[in-house]
Amino acid sequence: MPYQFVIPGRLPNLNDMIDAARANRYASAEMKKANTELVAWCVKRAKIPKMKRATLNITWYEISVRRDPDNVQAAVKFVWDGLVAAGVLTNDGWKQQGPVTHEMAVDKENPRVEVEVREVEACET
């Protein structure tokens, strides 16, 4: 059974993460913490149950096509970490991460990240 949660706004892209890491030794850690907590809050609000292993279908709604898809999709790290922080997954390693699909869309009025989570069979690794 699929579960869905929505993250309001836009998550930092890879360029934002690199810039933060270069600017200040604590800035990237604070960025990771804040965005992981945001995702965890969204997950808890959606009441997603615990899973052994999950697959993600993510739609990234951007305000324009200015940010490159691969840079935007790097924020999947916050999604996995948020699922762990919310207690849905015990870890975000090989045994817990299933396939991830990404779609890109534009919504100037309501940028967001829509995530569909589905439990899949446990990994044998």
> Domain tally for the chain?
1
pLDDT digits (tens, 9 = 90+) for 38-85: 999 999 999 999 999 999 999 999 999 999 999 999 999 999 999 999
Residue 70 lies in a domain: yes
Output phi, psi for 121, to 5 deg.
-60, 150
Residue 67 lies in a domain: yes
What one-character-per-residue DSSP string does 61-78 give? EESSS-S-HHHHHTTHHH
**pLDDT beyond 80 at 123:** no
Mean pLDDT along residues 25-44 = 96
* Domain encompassing residue 103: 2-119
Residue 124 lies in a domain: no
Strands 2-8 and 112-119: antiparallel
- Helices 27-46 and 76-85, axial angle in degrees (round to 10): 60
Other residues' Cβ atoms within 10 Å of the Cβ of residue 23: 10
Mean pLDDT along residues 100-124 = 93
Looking at residue 76, which CATH number applies to its domain? 3.30.1330.70
